Structure 1
Amino acid sequence: MTNLRRLDLNLLVTLDALLEERNVTRAAQRLNYSQPSVSVQLAKLRETFSDPLLLPGPRGMTPTARALELREPLRQALDELERAVLPVAPFDPATAQDTWRVAATDNAEQAILLPLLARLRALAPNTRLAVIQAEPPRLGKQAQTGAIDLGFHTTDEIPEGLRYRPLFREHYVLVGRTGHPRLKRRPTLAQFCKLEHVIASPDGGGFRGITDTVLERAGLQRRVVLSVPHFLFVLSAVANTDLVAMLPSRLVRGVPGLKTFDLAVEIPGYEMAMFWHERSHRDPGHQWLRERIVETV
């Protein structure tokens, strides 16, 4: 059993670099150490853990099973330790040079990030924003590993263990192009079902949504003839054809060439939220960004 009181914490920093780089030379460069120094520390680590930890391989070094077990808890522990010992500096947006990585669907990009951009550039001109396509099955892991700083998703599907804040409630509207021959006035449900619909299916290829579930309860069925993965393609398809779509109201707000209608039947909406990992909760820059997003929406 390793005695933590006798363990040099610098060795753990070296182990973290070795597990990340899987190469003694690169780890030494990352730590600003000499290669022999890192080799000596690796030998001490092997003795401490009674395990080789890293073995020579065809493409660098290969971690043992014990090393793989250590990697994630070690990374989390070092993150917590770094936050504990570093002084919390006030965040000055005018001079900040942060790069924020945010996961969002194209719907969230339009409804949340696009309205934020002008203010973000004016208040924090030296910061950068990287928008990553949101993939719901991976969001929790991305937040835990630090691959993303912030994400947007519906409240009922926020990954467990993350902090979140609701931003707004959204409802669906029927959308068609201005001049659509069958949308001179709000259609009845029977007329709605006879229209040709396009649907956004983030998982790909789906032809059903919450609208279809509601219609089936009333004994009705609509005609979904096109399924696409992105909301913005839905907008283009609706604007350039006689297809119609049920879309979040914020997505079509102010878009020229389109007209919207509320249906005679209520289609359940959703609550949009932003989420983040505990490690970022008290970070002044992260707090500042979250506050600007809340103000924007």
Structure 2
Amino acid sequence: MDTKRLDLNLLQTLEALLEEGNVTRAAARLHLSQPAVSAQLARLRAQFGDPLLIPAPRGMRPTAKAEALLAPLRDALRQVRDMLASHQDFDPATAHMTLNIACTDYAQAVAVIPLLRRLREAAPGIRVAVRNLEPARLLAQTERGEVDLALISPDCAPDSLHARFLFDDRYVLIGRHGHPALQGEVTLEHYLTLEHVVVSLGTGDFSTTVDAALAERGVARRVALSAASFLLVPEIVAQTDCVALLPERLALACRERVQLRECPFPLRRFDVAMAWHERSHGHPGLCWLRGELAGLMGAEV
């Protein structure tokens, strides 16, 4: 192969084509027209002497040579990107970029909203795209650059990702104002007589780690509703006689609608960290954003 005829744009197109398996999606990712990407694919096929992508029932699938190229291609492009990023001066006030964050709605409320307020003041050209946290897919998403930063429990973060502590939190009991069962001390025995709302993100389960902790004590609570969103829970509790355990940072933001009480049995505090891939580790803009978020959350910068 004559490497003098191979430019960086072609390699980036090859990476997008192999990862997307579809010319249209690759074109959208690269902000190019479909005919332009098709023309670049033709040049790549000529230079590598291989079809690289062949038709499949859903889009296109890579050839054996293309599959062998993908890993070293990713590594080479990451090194080039990191090298270019490390030599760029980053000015938040004039920067234009998109930060892709994966997190739960709880983390959106307590971390992303404060970050967005900060960005509107210091970096108005930085946009934030929030997507649902999917721990099972997170490593692949960060490898492909679909997620720049994840807000996640350290125990759930893939070991190969960089991670940094942001804050810790604890669960408190919430109920509606004037709830007749929350006027005096809430004992464990009293707690078990109430109907409860739990959060089960996307699974609909009625049992959580709290129920496991109660089972160790030989008791169980009555779960009336399994919600798919943390943010929905205060509204449900405010309009019913159900109660719920909610992270304190989120509960405090809702105290006009609900009252907060101590959990009647001990529960461990939990940590929230931010996690990111090596490919974005040295990016100056993302480094700045991670530092800002850590500062907002009270973590040591």
TM-score for the superposition, normalised by structure 1: 0.86
Q: 1:190 to 1:146 in 2, by over 3 A?
A: same
1:84-107 per-position Cα deviation (integer Å, ceiling 9, x unaligned): 256622211111111111011001
In structure 2, what is the Cα distance between the partners aligned to 1:242 and 1:81?
Answer: 58
Q: Secondary structure at the match of 2:259?
A: strand
How far 1:64 moved relative to its partner?
Answer: 1.3
TM-score for the superposition, normalised by structure 2: 0.84
Asked if the contact 1:172–1:269 (Cα under 8 Å) also holds between the matched residues in 2, the reply is yes
Q: 1:161 to 1:190 in 2, by over 3 A?
A: same
Match of 2:232? 233
Match of 1:10? 6
The letter of the residue matching 2:10 is T
1:59-83 per-position Cα deviation (integer Å, ceiling 9, x unaligned): 8865313213322431232121232
The letter of the residue matching 1:276 is W
Asked if the contact 1:204–1:228 (Cα under 8 Å) also holds between the matched residues in 2, the reply is no
Q: Which of 264-273 and 6-15 deviates more?
A: 6-15
Match of 1:53? 52
Aligned residues: 287
In structure 1, what is the Cα distance between the partners aligned to 2:207 and 2:35?
Answer: 56
CA RMSD of aligned residues (A): 2.9
1:182-234 per-position Cα deviation (integer Å, ceiling 9, x unaligned): 11123111110000000000142111112212222222211111001111111
Match of 2:292? 292
1:24-60 per-position Cα deviation (integer Å, ceiling 9, x unaligned): 9x69x679989878645522311xxxx4423467888
How far 1:135 moved relative to its partner?
Answer: 1.3
In structure 2, what is the Cα distance between the partners aligned to 1:52 and 1:79?
Answer: 24
In structure 2, what is the Cα distance between the partners aligned to 1:114 and 1:173?
Answer: 22
Q: 1:165 to 1:60 in 2, by over 3 A?
A: closer
Q: Secondary structure at the match of 2:181?
A: coil
Alignment of 1:55-94 (within 5 A): 55=54, 62-85=61-84, 88-94=87-93
Q: 1:88 to 1:19 in 2, by over 3 A?
A: closer
In structure 2, what is the Cα distance between the partners aligned to 1:114 and 1:36?
Answer: 43
Q: Secondary structure at the match of 1:159?
A: coil
Asked if the contact 1:153–1:272 (Cα under 8 Å) also holds between the matched residues in 2, the reply is yes
In structure 2, what is the Cα distance between the partners aligned to 1:188 and 1:263?
Answer: 9
Q: Secondary structure at the match of 2:47?
A: helix
Structure showing greater radius of gyration is 1
Query: Identity over the aligned pairs, expressed in percent?
Result: 39
Match of 2:246? 247
Unaligned runs of 5+ in 2: none
In structure 1, what is the Cα distance between the partners aligned to 2:36 and 2:244?
Answer: 60
Alignment of 1:274-285 (within 5 A): 274-285=274-285
The letter of the residue matching 1:122 is E
Match of 1:144? 143
For the pair 1:42 / 2:45, whether they are aligned, the reply is yes
In structure 2, what is the Cα distance between the partners aligned to 1:241 and 1:88?
Answer: 57
Q: 1:218 to 1:67 in 2, by over 3 A?
A: same
Match of 1:258? 258
Unaligned runs of 5+ in 1: none
For the pair 1:134 / 2:148, whether they are aligned, the reply is no
Asked if the contact 1:11–1:45 (Cα under 8 Å) also holds between the matched residues in 2, the reply is no
Q: 1:270 to 1:98 in 2, by over 3 A?
A: same
Q: Secondary structure at the match of 1:93?
A: coil
Q: Secondary structure at the match of 2:271?
A: strand
Asked if the contact 1:172–1:249 (Cα under 8 Å) also holds between the matched residues in 2, the reply is yes
In structure 2, what is the Cα distance between the partners aligned to 1:69 and 1:156?
Answer: 33
The letter of the residue matching 1:105 is T
Alignment of 1:82-161 (within 5 A): 82-85=81-84, 88-161=87-160
Q: Secondary structure at the match of 1:232?
A: coil
How far 1:138 moved relative to its partner?
Answer: 1.1
Q: 1:11 to 1:66 in 2, by over 3 A?
A: farther
In structure 2, what is the Cα distance between the partners aligned to 1:86 and 1:111?
Answer: 30
Alignment of 1:155-170 (within 5 A): 155-170=154-169
The letter of the residue matching 1:269 is R
Asked if the contact 2:176–2:241 (Cα under 8 Å) also holds between the matched residues in 1, the reply is yes
